[in-house]
Amino acid sequence: MKNIKNALFTALLGTVLIATGCRKHEEHLNGRDQAKRDLGKGILRVAIEDGTNMPAFGEYATLLRSRYNIGWITYSAPANRDAAAAWVRGYNEVALPRIELQFGPGVLTKTMTDAEKLHAQSLK
């Protein structure tokens, strides 16, 4: 009886782990697909996970929009933060190289550096 309980527990745990992994993989692909659709329409965006705490986010978003006409998109999956992170990672894997191809290597890093400087100045 103990062996049967252990086998059932192991099978159930495996099913949960596989389902969680599949969900992350599915969301990763969904993020990539969404970025491809957006880029196909000429829409440039950077994806962030909903609830991300980025102190200079407002300045970053403003600079991206005003300098390069780049927007942002948030994704949330409150029941599964790993799935949300996978979607964002998938989206950015497609979108960020296109942005850097169009505006030059390091453009996003430079913009973030400028945003952080603006944010620090606003706190003074």
pTM: 0.79
Counting the structural domains of the chain, the total is 1
What integer pLDDT is reported at residue 19 of this predicted model? 42
Exposure b/e, 41-73, CB count within 10 A at least 16 = b: eeebbbbbbeeeeeebeebbbebbeeeeebeeb
pLDDT at 103 over 90: yes
Percentage, residues of the chain above pLDDT 90: 63
pLDDT-derived band of residue 20, with 50, 70 and 90 as boundaries?
A: very low
Domain that holds residue 71: 2-123
